[in-house]
């Protein structure tokens, strides 16, 4: 298991300082080589060791697992290749509590949560960070549930460097034998077309997985409109994007490309009949503007 936040056991007043300041490596990882009795672990459903970097294709589903050797509060973060940081645990779903009993294993998403964690671009390696503490940690400067309607917290830091700096401040006052951390990795991969037909692209060209069959009788809010817009009161771009992407998949669309920056996510979809759809979610003031554009084929 690769460690991102290890720890030093608290020594006596005569031997060591009360709290040795956490150090941050050149790779933006908080490092302290002394093991912790909390012994948190984190892994994916395709690598139970937690030491590998399994591949997932856009549209596939992933489950994350974490466990502790002592009763602890677990904070689970995901950092994607573009630097987007999401707080996975705690959340406001049915199974979103972050207190784990010693020896127990928690899975995200849980069976009673009523949603799936679907893989989407950007392509590259994602880092999952599990931080466990015997006592609750104050992460208000990192993430908070500002929107009472949202199920996930709004994260105020970007990139693993900012996250590492912020967490080093959070754990500094905590007794060093009462917290631990671990990391797991997974890669959002794209299949490339065969070299014999590939016109030397700069980056691999993603191939669509088998499309989802449309649900008969499903009514979508955009109907037959060429362009549809709506305002959403939530603040989490990823949460809003994934909800509308799921609706497009219900219509038989498959995600082929997605880009994201701090204020916008733009995703392109294709259908088996040749139709195209573009989903854009972007911050507009204190709300999110959702836009769906359709370019249906003659076969739709």
Domain ranges of the chain: 23-188, 209-295
What fold characterizes domain 23-188?
Immunoglobulin-like (2.60.40)
Q: What is the pLDDT of residues 201-218, one digit of tens each?
A: 444 444 444 444 444 444
Taking Cα atoms as reference points, which of 29, 131, 121, 132 lies closest to residue 80? Answer: 121
Structure confidence at residue 299 (pLDDT):
58
Q: What is the mean pLDDT of residues 157-164?
A: 86
| Cα first-last separation, the chain | 48
Taking Cα atoms as reference points, which of 230, 233, 240 lies closest to residue 260? Answer: 240
Distance CA 81, CA 119 (A): 13
What fold characterizes domain 209-295?
TATA-Binding Protein (3.30.310)
Q: What is the pLDDT of residues 240-266, one digit of tens each?
A: 888 888 888 878 888 888 888 878 999
Find how far residue 95's CA is from the centre of its chain.
16
Distance CA 7, CA 132 (A): 11
Burial 33-47 (b: 16+ CB within 10 A, else e): eeebebbbbbbbeee
Distance CA 42, CA 294 (A): 40
Distance CA 291, CA 293 (A): 7
Q: Which residue has the higher pLDDT, 225 or 53?
A: 53
Q: Please list the residues that pair with 77 across neighbouring strands.
A: 87, 129
Give yes or no for residue 186 having a pLDDT over 60: yes
Token digits of residue 10: 């608290």
Token digits of residue 63: 């489950």
Question: Is residue 193 helix, strand or coil?
Answer: coil
Q: Which residue has the higher pLDDT, 135 or 172?
A: 135
Q: What is the pLDDT of residues 34-67, one digit of tens each?
A: 778 999 999 999 998 888 899 999 889 999 999 9
Structure confidence at residue 195 (pLDDT):
44
CB 78 within 8 A of CB 86: yes
pLDDT confidence band for 275 (50 / 70 / 90): confident
CB 188 within 8 A of CB 56: yes
Q: Which residue has the higher pLDDT, 208 or 109?
A: 109
Distance CA 227, CA 48 (A): 44
Cis preceding linkage at 248, omega within 30: no
Q: Is 180 exposed, middle or buried (0-12, 13-18, 19+ CB in 10 A)?
A: buried
Q: Are strands 264-271 and 253-260 parallel, antiparallel or unpaired?
A: antiparallel
Q: State the CB neighbour count (10 A cutoff) for residue 73.
A: 19
Question: 23-188 and 209-295 share one CATH topology?
Answer: no
Place of tokens 């088996």: 272
Question: Is residue 287 helix, strand or coil?
Answer: strand
Structure confidence at residue 253 (pLDDT):
85
Distance CA 193, CA 280 (A): 27
């Amino acid at each position: 298991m690769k460690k991102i936040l290890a720890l030093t056991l608290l020594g006596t007043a005569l031997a060591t300082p009360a709290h040795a300041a956490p150090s941050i490596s050149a790779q933006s990882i908080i490092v302290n080589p002394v093991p912790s009795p909390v012994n948190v672990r984190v892994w994916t459903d395709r690598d139970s060791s937690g030491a590998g970097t399994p591949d997932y294709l856009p549209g596939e589903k992933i489950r994350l697992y974490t466990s502790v050797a002592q009763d602890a509060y677990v904070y689970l973060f995901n950092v994607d290749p573009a630097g987007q940081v999401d707080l996975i645990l705690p959340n406001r779903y049915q199974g979103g509590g972050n207190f784990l009993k010693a020896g127990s294993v928690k899975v995200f998403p849980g069976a009673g949560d009523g949603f799936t964690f679907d893989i989407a671009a950007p392509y590259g390696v994602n880092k999952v960070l599990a931080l466990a503490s015997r006592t609750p940690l104050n992460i208000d400067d990192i993430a908070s549930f500002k929107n009472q309607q949202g199920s996930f917290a709004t994260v105020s830091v970007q990139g693993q460097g900012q996250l590492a700096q912020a967490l080093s401040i959070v754990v500094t006052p905590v007794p060093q034998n009462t917290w631990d951390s671990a990391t797991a990795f997974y890669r959002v991969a794209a299949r490339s077309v065969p070299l014999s037909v590939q016109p030397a692209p700069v980056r691999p060209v993603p191939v669509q997985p088998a499309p989802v069959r449309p649900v008969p009788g499903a009514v979508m809010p955009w109907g037959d409109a060429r362009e549809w817009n709506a305002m959403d009161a939530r603040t989490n771009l990823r949460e809003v994007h994934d909800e509308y992407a799921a609706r497009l998949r219900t219509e038989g669309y498959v995600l082929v490309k997605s880009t994201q920056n701090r204020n916008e996510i733009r995703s392109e979809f294709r259908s088996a009949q040749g139709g195209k759809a573009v989903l854009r979610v972007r911050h507009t003031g204190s709300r999110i503007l959702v836009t769906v554009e359709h370019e249906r084929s003659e076969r739709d």
